[in-house]
Amino acid sequence: MKLNQLLKISGIDIKQFLLSLRGIPNYFNNYSKIKAAIENTKTDFPIKNLNPCLADRFDKAGSLPLHYFYQDIHIAKKIFENNPIKHVDIGSRIDGFVAHVASFREIEIFDIRSMNIGVKNIKFVKADLSELNFALENYCDSISCLHVIEHFGLGRYGDKIDINGHIKGLNNIYKILKPGGKFYFSTPIGEQRIEFDAHRVFDVQYLLDLFYGKYCIDSFSYVDDQNIFHSDCQFNASSIEKNFNCNYGCGIFELTKL
């Protein structure tokens, strides 16, 4: 048995350790940039915690977290029922949501990271949705972005530091989607903050304000802090103010572009 295998059995991943060391300079460089951007820009997101993800920028697109079970099944089912002409996904889990959809239809995925494997029904396009000059307009009638937008502009996956990266990403998604098209969206919900360089967490009211005048909200579901799934929930003043009692929940929106 090789040394690396023995260390893995003991809970030590040498490759992950070396990649994490490699990522330290990038982390502190990006931290300095985003701290300066916060000081010089009126932003809605303070840094409240440090949560380094040092090796993620060196990952391939298929290597993603495995705790998004509910959202992946929930949205894949909706896409199956709605049967769009062209569905595009922005950076969601390859080994979860994308695999579910690819089992019954073609799906085109845009991701800032590379994907080097060929899979039936999956068409991969390397693209940075945080770019202002993103060219595609009215490209598809259905689009998804699940647990992704919170990372835009934080540098975790090798992207540029941009305090408004999430805004640019959402604006480009709006541009890509045809009027009347479906947008399936999920992101962390709770007290609004940055946990650098892992992700943002969004206040529910903040998200509703972003969608106002652009989308009709067809349905809202969420996964709470105890990992319980709540389907087709109603908005009211109390639930919005309390972020559905979530500190780090997952808000799942089905939207139609106006």
Q: What is the pLDDT of residue 218?
A: 98
For residue 119, what is the domain's CATH number? 3.40.50.150
Entry pTM: 0.85
Q: What is the pLDDT of residue 4?
A: 63
Three-class SS string for the chain?
Answer: CCHHHHHHHCCCCHHHHHHHHHHHHHHHHHHHHHHHHHHHCCCCCCEEEECCCCCHHHCCCCCCCCCCHHHHHHHHHHHHHHCCCCEEEECCCHHHHHHHHHCCCCEEEEECCCCCCCCCCEEEEECCCCCCCCCCCCCEEEEEEECCHHHCCCCCCCCCCCCCHHHHHHHHHHHHEEEEEEEEEEEEECCCEEEECCEEEECHHHHHHHHCCCEEEEEEEEECCCCCEECCCCCCHHHHHCHHHCCCEEEEEEEEEC
Q: What is the pLDDT of residue 5?
A: 60
Q: What is the pLDDT of residue 9?
A: 61
- Structural domain range at position 189: 3-257
Domain count, the chain: 1
Q: What is the pLDDT of residue 158?
A: 83
Q: Measured between alpha carbons, how far is 46 from 5 in angstroms, rounded to an integer?
A: 41
Three-class SS string for 176-226?
Answer: HEEEEEEEEEEEEECCCEEEECCEEEECHHHHHHHHCCCEEEEEEEEECCC
Q: What is the pLDDT of residue 66?
A: 40
Greatest Cα pair distance, the chain, in angstroms, is 61
* Regions of the chain short of the pLDDT cut 70: 1-10, 60-67, 132-133
Q: What is the pLDDT of residue 63?
A: 42
Q: What is the pLDDT of residue 62?
A: 46
Q: Measured between alpha carbons, how far is 96 from 196 in angstroms, rounded to an integer?
A: 25
Instruction: Look up residue 30 and give its two tokens.
Output: 């990006």
- What order do you get walking across the sheet with 122-126 strand by strand? 122-126, 107-111, 87-90, 140-146, 177-189, 249-257, 215-223, 229-230
Q: What is the pLDDT of residue 209?
A: 98
Q: What is the pLDDT of residues 198-250, one digit of tens each?
A: 999 999 999 999 999 999 999 999 999 988 899 999 999 999 999 999 999 99
Q: Measured between alpha carbons, how far is 135 from 137 in angstroms, rounded to an integer?
A: 7
Q: Measured between alpha carbons, how far is 184 from 181 in angstroms, rounded to an integer?
A: 10
Q: Measured between alpha carbons, how far is 219 from 232 in angstroms, rounded to an integer?
A: 6
Q: What is the pLDDT of residue 207?
A: 99
